[in-house]
Amino acid sequence: MFAMTTIQISAERMELDSLAQVRSGAAKVELTDDSRQRINRCHEALVAILESGETVYGINTGFGRLATERISPEDLEQLQTNLVLSHAVGTGPPLSDRVVRLVMLLKIHSLAQGHSGVRLELVEMMTRLLNEGLLPVIPSKGSVGASGDLAPLAHLAAALIGVGQFHVQGETVPAQQALQTLGLSPMQLGPKEGLALLNGTQVSTALAIDGLWRIRHVFQSALIAGAMSVDAAMGSDTPFDARIHFSRAHSGQQQCAAIYRTLLSDSQIRQSHVDCHRVQDPYSLRCQPQVMGACHDQIQFVGEVLLDEANSVTDNPLIFPDTGEVLSGGNFHAEPVALAADNLALAVAEIGALSERRIALLIDAHLSELPPFLVEQGGLNSGFMIAHVTAAALASENKSLAHPASVDSLPTSANQEDHVSMATFAARRLDGMIDNTETILAIELLAAAQGIDFRRPLKTSQFLESIHAEIRKRVDHYGKDRFFAPDIETIKQLITEEADFPPSIPVTIW
């Protein structure tokens, strides 16, 4: 998908394309000279604070409820090690390599802004590990999204000090052994470095960005499936008329209507029933621009929020070298990410729900005027009957998963951290929801292709004929009942991000 490139880590704003390149493993990262200077300058400010003997939270005190405990200078390094080891309590399956690459990138970028006080050698070590493909094994569960993603980021930090594991070229390797392959020794953390690594929203943000990228791909597949279903059901293209949509001021709706017009342009099937008896189509066909347009606008807004977060410094406290001040705040609170991930969950649930309704329409002979359940000799053959049940089950599951995680909060750290974001779960559950929606869309594409088969010799538009041909290269027409699950899985794999399908829609989406 991407040619190998190098991303410069600087004060400049990172863009989504750069994040996507690192996520896919198609980019290396490099600190600019300016970043190195900022890191060194901030660390020098930290050293000056230590030499002054001033008591400063996170530098020479305990943490959370123990923030009033002063730590002696000789124990400061042990304090950071203890912090990492005690906080490495994550559980659950490990995060994917895609997500961990993003976590590493976001943490490197945050530290490189020069407000965290870490040494340059720590950031350089992380940069080398990312570039060499040594990815810390990070459990997916255990964060409430404030104070940052403490437990998962502790596992990242633990790997740097030789505790835990790395994932290297598909294998899980003990941390010290993996470091030795690069001639590296475990890092001895200095003052504030453990805290700077643990505090931050990088895991929540990485999970949400991973979900965002997948949802953008799902969205494109849903537009194509929906357009195919319009022709399969002999629906009208009148509801996509530009005049309707320019009377309503939502840009996403206008864009989606234009896409449907393009996808259905010059369809023989449409021309065959311009003067038919139908007055209006069901909403799942007719209102696609309105529903998909609303989802589009949510997805686009979320992209802006997550990009802001990706370019932020979210550990605590923050050091401001210009004045030598250390300010304790709450940038680690991941509420923006939680709300953004909740919005993505709503969008992907709606995309799947609308697709499920179109499948139901296609298998209903009274609505689609196609053979019942899209198969010849109905009764002897059940056709798409239970494939639709699967789609309904997944759409229903997504509705439950779409319940906002951000409305929940449980106090932690003896009520010091008395309101948390739940951003990590908000973002993590997107993976399963997207998987569900991909399956629903695979079933719809098969159903729509089946419906178009029944409209022969008429053809759909040139673009949709190319999609139909791609489907039929992989899955034959459903002439009689057969083992159906492999067909669904085949088309699902076709529309996943990794397959780089469908071909680009000839209208700009994002």
Nearest partner of 255 among 297, 205, 201, judged by Cα: 297
SS3 label, residue 91: strand
Q: If we measure between CA atoms, which residue out of 98, 131, 94 comes closest to residue 9?
A: 131
Residue closest to 281 by CA, chosen among 321, 236, 347, 243 = 236
CB 305 within 8 A of CB 336: yes
**Cα separation values, 86 from 65, 89, 123, 160, 315, Å:** 15, 7, 22, 15, 18
Cβ contacts of 219 within 8 Å, gap of 6 or more: 292, 295, 296, 299, 351, 509
- Strand-pair partners of 6: 28
Sign of CA dihedral 380, 385, 386, 387: positive
C-alpha span between 187 and 82 (Å, rounded):
14
- From 57, 260, 283, 478, active-site residue: 57
**Per-residue b or e along 428-464, where b marks 16 or more CB atoms closer than 10 Å to that residue's CB:** bbbbebbbbbbbbbbbbbbbbbbbbbbbeebbbbebb
Please count the other Cβ atoms lying within 10 Å of the Cβ belonging to residue 170: 7
Which one-letter amino acid corresponds to residue 6?
A: T
What does the block give as tokens for 88?
Answer: 């490495």
**CA–CA dist 225, 205 (Å, integer):** 30
Is 57 assigned a catalytic role?
Answer: yes
SS (H, E, C) 317-335: CEEECCCCEEECCCCCCCH
CA distances from 107 to 63, 368, 485 (A): 20, 52, 41
DSSP state of 32: -
Residues with active-site annotation: 57
